[in-house]
Amino acid sequence: MTTTQARSVHTASLLDGEIVEESDLGSMRRVTADNLPILNRLSIKRVLLNPGAMRTPHWHANANELTYCVSGTALVSILDSGSKFSTFIVTAGQMFHAESGSLHHIENIGDDVAEFIIAFRNELPEDFGFGATLGAFSDAVLGNTYDLPSADFAKIRRSTRDHKLAARIGDPVVPAAAHFNDPHKFDVEAQSPGLNYVSGNARFARDQFWPILKDISMYSLRVTENGMREPHWHPVTAEMGYVNHGDARMTIMNPDGTLDTWNLTTGDMYFIPRAYPHHIENTGTDPWHFLIFFDQPFPADIGYRASASAYSREVLAATFGTHIDDLPQFPFTPADPLIVTRTNPLD
């Protein structure tokens, strides 16, 4: 049975996702397994920071983080174990990675709204805000920690509620070192496309090019108005995508033989469990741009073109339950093209 609908169990709108925090400083919305139960080992968040606003220092207890900057200019700081501190600037098309448990913050230092799409390596990520954790301990404990009188902390209004967004007081402090490259940072859109076709291209943020990645990766995929991501599956990785721009149609086959087919537009996200066959095609008049996250550092796939080339016509005829003379003349394809040109009209 085929289900054609605007929504399925595989998709949700991130623009209309669960509100984590929203004010004149910006907003945070997310889709987790609480909102989309099919999610497994991946979830997604959209953060908007107005000029002068920041995502306050925090860490994630159970998930590595992979962040893509859609727009704006931000200062990112990360404190890893062993007192290893990094600070760097990210702009549109650049990414950063923060390990689970590492303290980090994102601060808009530009004049425009900064937008970030964040993937977490857990379907239900847990956060701790540094400011909130100060509310967990007494004045005396904090005084002993910092070698200060306990009275110094009595002046600070503390609680265990995390203030995720805050306004910077004064001008941003940008260390000179923030202008250097950093292992946590990767300029994915500055890379030459790893795959380049007439109908689209793909740039890769994976451990082959970014060694810091251990259990997550991302493809920046663009497909023209007459392009299509051929039917395929990923043997050892789930896929979570975000539509940064454009309109597309996706079909997924479930193990029970049912199909989900639905339309995607800017701001939508989707999730495909490991090894589920699926395809995406452009339904709009503009190229679309997807940010596609995987729960492995180097995702792989098997495509339908190479699959048809792997077997004899006798095997294929038996597989499809048809006469061998009725089989199409499948082109021999030793390596799948990832993106193909759509020569037939939309059906």
**Any idea how long the chain is?**
347
Residue-averaged pLDDT of the chain: 95
Q: How far apart are the first and last CA of the chain?
A: 17
The residues facing 30 across adjacent strands are 18, 45
Tokens of 142: 């904090």
Whether 4 shows a pLDDT value over 80: the answer reads: no
- The tokens for 180 are 């250097």
Select from 248, 244, 238, 250 the least CA-distant residue to 220: 244
183 CB-contact burial (10 Å; exposed 0-12 / middle 13-18 / buried 19+):
middle
Instruction: List, in order, residues 6 or more apart from 66 with CB less than 8 Å away.
Output: 95, 96, 97, 118, 119, 121, 205, 213, 216, 217, 218, 293
pLDDT at 347: 82
Distance separating alpha carbons of residues 114 and 213, to the nearest angstrom: 24
**Letter for the amino acid at 31?**
V
- Would you state the pLDDT for residue 158? 87
| Nearest partner of 30 among 130, 104, 100, 126, judged by Cα | 126
CB of 66 closer than 8 Å to CB of 216 = yes
pLDDT of residue 2: 44
Residue 168 has pLDDT above 70, yes or no: yes
φ/ψ (deg, to 5) at 68: -115, 130
AA identity, residue 249: R
pLDDT computed for residue 3 by the predictor:
43
3-state secondary structure of 4: strand
d(CA 73, CA 65): 19
- pLDDT at position 241 is 98
- What dotted CATH number matches 190-341? 2.60.120.10
- Per residue in 69-127, pLDDT (tens digit) is 999 999 999 999 999 999 999 999 999 999 999 999 999 999 999 999 999 999 999 99
Q: Where are the alpha helices (DSSP H) in 205-333?
A: 304-309, 313-320
Tens of pLDDT, residues 228-259: 999 999 999 999 999 999 999 999 999 999 99
Residue pair 106/116 in contact by the 8 Å Cβ criterion: yes
Q: Is 190-341 the same fold as 2-186?
A: yes
Cα(347)–Cα(344) distance, rounded to whole angstroms? Answer: 8
Q: What is the pLDDT of residues 256-306, one digit of tens each?
A: 999 999 999 999 999 999 999 999 999 999 999 999 999 999 999 999 999
SS3 152: helix
Q: Are 78 and 53 in contact (CB under 8 A)?
A: no
pLDDT in tens, 320-343: 999 999 999 999 999 888 899 999
**DSSP letter (8 states) at residue 310:** T
- What is the share, in percent, of the chain residues with pLDDT greater than 70? 98
pLDDT value at position 81? Answer: 96
- Classify residue 190 as exposed, middle or buried by CB count within 10 Å of its CB (0-12, 13-18, 19+): exposed
Q: HSE (CB half, 13 Å, CA atoms) of 320? A: 14
Q: Give 169-212 pLDDT, tens digit per residue.
A: 999 999 999 999 999 999 999 999 999 999 999 999 999 999 99
Single out the residue of 187, 259, 268, 229 nearest to residue 4, CA to CA: 259
Sheet holding 11-13, edge to edge: 11-13, 268-272, 239-245, 288-294, 217-223, 200-205, 195-197
197: nearest Cα among 93, 342, 49, 60: 342
Q: Measure Cα distances from 175 to 12, 69, 112, 238 in Å.
A: 39, 20, 21, 39
- pLDDT tens digits, one per residue of 30-72: 999 999 999 999 999 999 999 999 999 999 999 999 999 999 9
Ramachandran region of residue 283, left (φ > 0), alpha (ψ -120 to 50) or beta? Answer: alpha
What are the residue ranges spanned by the domains of the chain? 2-186, 190-341
Please tell me what DSSP assigns to residue 1.
-
- 1 pLDDT higher than 70: no
> How much is the pLDDT for 202?
96
Architecture of the CATH domain 2-186 = Sandwich (2.60)
